[in-house]
């Protein structure tokens, strides 16, 4: 008896990698096992029953009397129908739930939330005191830049480009967000562009580099001049 | 005397403390300076490497014989040029100096990508493609040479990117001199690049597109104001033209005061069409369902803008706002380029936003081609893993500013929903869109 357990254990060790390799596929179908069944599915049951103390026979992959008795004992203990047959319910109770065909591809986790909030931050930093239209306009400039070959290709790229926006340089963009800024960011992302395709904006009341006046001015909204 | 000594001692202690604090601060700053400088140095040397790779790879493209070889090289050009573009815009140089160079790198990447896709569909490189590649190769070499000159200049002056970054910040208030000077020369060099026209999103011809949907005679300010009076909800108490927008579609900017706050409307100079509408007010608690709001949006399109045959394509609820995308349908074909977006406030059901830029830009009488494939044939070409839920004919805009008649399939893989566009003529997959589930987003198809 001891000897056979030992041998079985060694065989098991040898088979273990195989068992892991097969586990994924095996889960696909847990066949119904009964007296007389053979094979490594029987071994899985025997092994589990032995682990949980229902079975002390050899783990030999043969569904014989000892296994049958252990299965019935296990079923009785766990409130299952005591029939000595390992069906789906018993498999599940043994910790091997039958495979339900879930699709291999689960739902992705892509979202536009980060873009909205980041854009809202810039709007907060650059145009907190501007009318709503001016806020949407600043958001639109970021998106126009993103679509223009001369600027970075992502929203964070455009916003954090060194020297691109004053509020990024002086930390103003980390102010708390207002709901209005978030709403403006959402509209800008949805396509609203009151600037007619502007790439630059500035406040003419502040001293600005004379370079800005070489750009084509498109319009003026609130305190900002918008240009291409 | 004792008091004097004590004071002296205290003063000494204070001075020691201040000195210690100052040293610590200085060390901290020094550390930050070095660290930032190192990051910028890395970016700069990455830029050099990537531009050099672009040059070499473009050179190889000129001599590649096989299509397979060319595809491999072109996709490398695409990748290296994109990385160079990203490096360039991470350097502490004002965007005004990097814009031209960045544009060149984007176009190289974009052009390589376009050729790559062209080769993927089986068409070989034409003589014209080769000539363009040769020109780009020459320009990349001269850019590479200029960058190495900049490198020499930076090395000669010591690593001072920190200083560049610091002065760049000050620039905004004062002047654009000195700090970027090595890059200024670079920018001047790139001024001479000729325009590049091809079938990609950064092609130069797209910047010169003219609106095709503008009908009617030019209108004056008075007419624009009258039109705004009709279009703004609720009835405005006062309207006036406050300026002009000289964008691709020239328009008057009209401000309207209403009982529910200020509304801004852009009305086109030609025809007085509504280009954009934006209400200032923040909507209160939502009381309408999105479905009810949809009726309001449809009514607005039909009654106020006179747009018939508009079908809802997508709707999304953002807080107390519902945004609806409408597209016209003509002879059973959905015209995606001519989209109009309408925003409805869910508290009182009024239209608070309209965006008809795309419609005015692209809508015109078209003669649509007949599809060569039947719907069933097209369906047979889809990836068999997909579960098709719906299909129709649709005209979609392509990256290069053209339009293509496609079969549109709404299909599912697992829980994810995809929109797949198959060229109705050759059955090639033109575009695959993946629907990103957002709260309150609803695809109407």
Task: Summarize pLDDT for B217-226 with one digit per residue, the tens.
Answer: 999 999 999 9
CA dihedral A146, A152, A158, A164 (to 10 degrees): -120
Listed ranges A84-93, B57-66, B165-174, B262-271; the one with the highest mean pLDDT: B262-271
The answer to whether B84 touches B51, Cβ cutoff 8 Å, is: yes
Q: Are residues A11 and A55 in the same domain?
A: yes
Residue A157 maps to a domain: yes
Q: Are residues A138 and A196 in the same domain?
A: yes
Q: Which of residues 27-46 of A touch B (CB under 8 A)?
A: none
CA distance A89 to chain B (A): 27
Q: CB neighbours (10 Å) of residue B137?
A: 20
Q: Are residues A50 and A81 in the same domain?
A: yes
Which of A93, A124, A146 is at the close of a domain? Answer: A93
Q: Are residues A196 and B278, on separate chains, in Cβ contact within 8 Å?
A: no
Q: Are residues A29 and A117 in the same domain?
A: no
Residue A123 maps to a domain: yes
B375-443 carries CATH number 3.10.450: yes
Please say if the pLDDT value at position A108 is more than 70.
no
Which of A45, A63, A93 is at the close of a domain? Answer: A93
Which of A59, A93, A127 is at the close of a domain? Answer: A93
**Amino acid B178: pLDDT:** 46
Mean pLDDT of chain A: 81
State whether residue B280 sits within 8 Å of chain A by CB: yes
**Cis bond leading into B234, ω under 30°?**
yes
3-state secondary structure of B207: helix
Rounded to whole angstroms, how far apart are CA atoms B62 and B299? Answer: 58
The DSSP-derived string for B283-327 is P-S--S-HHHHHHHHHHIIIIIS---SEEEEEEEEETTEEEEEEE
Q: Are residues A89 and A117 in the same domain?
A: no
Structure tokens at A7: 């041998």
Q: Are residues A133 and A214 in the same domain?
A: yes
Q: Are residues A26 and A54 in the same domain?
A: yes
Name residue, tokens 């003419």. A204
**Amino acid A19: pLDDT:** 41
The dihedral region occupied by B158, where left means phi > 0, alpha psi between -120 and 50, and beta the remainder, is left
Rounded to whole angstroms, how far apart are CA atoms B32 and B38? Answer: 10
Rounded to whole angstroms, how far apart are CA atoms A60 and A75? Answer: 21
Q: Are residues B90 and A219, on separate chains, in Cβ contact within 8 Å?
A: no
Q: Which residues of A touch B107 (CB under 8 A)?
A: 149
Phi and psi at A95, nearest 5°, equal 90, 15
Q: How confident is the model at residue A97 (pLDDT cuts 50, 70, 90)?
A: low
The DSSP-derived string for A124-143 is HHHHTTS-HHHHHHHHHHHH
Residue A101 maps to a domain: no
Q: Are residues A219 and A118 in the same domain?
A: yes
Q: Are residues A89 and A120 in the same domain?
A: no
> According to DSSP H, which parts of chain A are helical?
2-26, 40-51, 65-77, 88-93, 113-127, 132-146, 155-159, 166-169, 179-190
Q: Are residues A41 and A85 in the same domain?
A: yes
* Higher per-residue pLDDT: A78 or A207: A78
Q: What is the pLDDT of residues B325-361, one digit of tens each?
A: 999 999 889 999 999 999 999 999 999 999 999 999 9
Rounded to whole angstroms, how far apart are CA atoms B200 and A17? Answer: 52
Reported as type and span, the H/E element at residue B397 is strand B387-397
Q: Are residues A128 and A177 in the same domain?
A: yes
Q: Are residues A129 and A72 in the same domain?
A: no
CA distance B21 to chain A (A): 25
- Count of domains observed in chain A: 2
Size of interface A-B (CB pairs under 8 A): 157
State whether residue A53 sits within 8 Å of chain B by CB: no
Quote the domain boundaries for residue A178. 113-227
Q: What CATH number did the domain enclosing A159 receive?
A: 1.10.10.2520
Please say if the pLDDT value at position B405 is more than 70.
yes
Q: What is the pLDDT of residues B140-191, one digit of tens each?
A: 998 999 889 888 887 777 657 766 666 665 554 444 444 456 677 676 766 6
State whether residue B107 sits within 8 Å of chain A by CB: yes
Mean pLDDT of chain B: 88
Q: Which residues of A touch B341 (CB under 8 A)?
A: 190-192
């Amino acid at each position: 008896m001891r000897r056979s357990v030992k041998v079985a254990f060694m065989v098991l060790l040898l088979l273990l990698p195989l068992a892991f390799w097969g586990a994924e596929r095996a889960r696909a179908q847990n066949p119904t096992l009964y007296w007389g069944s053979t094979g490594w599915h029987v071994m899985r049951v025997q092994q589990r029953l032995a682990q949980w103390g229902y079975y002390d026979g050899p783990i030999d992959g043969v569904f014989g009397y000892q296994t049958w008795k252990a299965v019935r004992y296990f079923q009785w203990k766990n409130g299952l129908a005591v029939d000595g047959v390992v069906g789906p319910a018993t498999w599940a109770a043994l910790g091997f739930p039958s495979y339900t065909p879930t699709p291999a591809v689960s739902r992705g986790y892509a979202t536009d939330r980060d873009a909205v909030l980041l854009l809202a931050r810039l709007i907060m930093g650059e145009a907190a005191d501007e009318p709503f239209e001016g806020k949407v306009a600043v958001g639109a400039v970021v998106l126009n830049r993103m679509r223009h070959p001369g600027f970075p290709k992502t929203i964070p790229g455009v916003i954090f480009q060194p020297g691109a926006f004053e509020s990024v340089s002086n930390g103003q963009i980390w102010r708390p967000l207002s709901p209005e800024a978030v709403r403006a960011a959402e509209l800008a992302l949805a396509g609203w562009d009151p600037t007619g395709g502007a790439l630059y904006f500035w406040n003419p009341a502040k001293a600005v580099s004379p370079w800005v006046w070489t750009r084509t001015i498109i319009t003026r909204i609130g305190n900002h001049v918008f240009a291409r | 005397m004792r008091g004097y000594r004590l004071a002296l001692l205290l003063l000494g202690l204070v001075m020691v403390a201040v000195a210690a604090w100052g040293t610590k601060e200085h060390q901290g700053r020094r550390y930050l300076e070095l660290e930032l400088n190192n990051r910028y140095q890395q970016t700069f040397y990455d830029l050099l490497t990537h531009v050099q790779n672009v040059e070499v790879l473009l050179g190889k493209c000129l001599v590649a014989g096989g299509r397979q070889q060319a595809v491999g090289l072109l996709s490398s050009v695409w990748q290296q040029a994109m990385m160079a573009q990203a490096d360039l815009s991470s350097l502490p140089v004002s965007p005004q100096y990097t814009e031209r160079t960045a544009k060149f790198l984007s176009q190289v990447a974009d052009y390589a990508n376009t050729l790559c896709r062209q080769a993927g569909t089986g068409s070989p490189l034409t003589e014209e493609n080769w000539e363009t590649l040769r020109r780009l190769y020459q320009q990349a070499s001269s850019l590479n040479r200029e960058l190495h000159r900049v490198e020499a200049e930076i090395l000669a002056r010591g690593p001072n990117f920190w200083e560049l970054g610091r002065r760049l910040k000050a620039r905004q208030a004062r002047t654009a001199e000195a700090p970027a000077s090595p890059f200024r020369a670079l920018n001047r060099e790139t001024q001479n690049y000729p325009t590049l026209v091809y079938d990609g999103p950064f092609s130069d011809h797209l910047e010169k597109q003219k609106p095709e949907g503008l009908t009617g005679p030019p209108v004056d300010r008075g007419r624009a104001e009258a039109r705004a009076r009709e279009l703004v909800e609720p009835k405005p108490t006062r309207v006036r033209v406050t300026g002009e927008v000289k964008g691709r579609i020239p328009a008057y900017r009209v401000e309207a005061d209403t009982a529910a706050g200020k509304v801004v409307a852009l009305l086109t100079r030609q025809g007085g069409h509504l280009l954009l509408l934006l209400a200032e007010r923040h909507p209160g608690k939502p009381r309408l369902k999105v479905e009810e709001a949809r009726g309001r949006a449809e009514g607005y399109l039909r009654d106020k803008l006179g747009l018939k045959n508009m079908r809802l394509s997508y709707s999304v609820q953002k807080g107390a706002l519902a945004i609806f995308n409408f597209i016209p349908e003509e002879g059973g074909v959905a015209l995606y380029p001519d989209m109009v977006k309408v925003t409805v406030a869910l508290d009182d059901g009024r239209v608070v936003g309209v965006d008809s830029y795309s419609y005015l830009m692209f809508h015109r009488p078209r003669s649509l081609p007949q599809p060569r494939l039947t719907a069933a044939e097209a369906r047979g070409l889809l990836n068999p893993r997909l579960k098709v839920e719906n299909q129709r004919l649709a005209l979609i805009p392509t990256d290069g500013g053209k339009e293509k008649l496609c079969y549109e399939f709404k299909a599912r893989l697992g829980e994810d929903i995809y929109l797949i566009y198959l060229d109705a003529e050759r059955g090639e997959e033109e575009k695959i869109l993946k629907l990103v589930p957002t709260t309150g987003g609803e695809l109407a198809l």
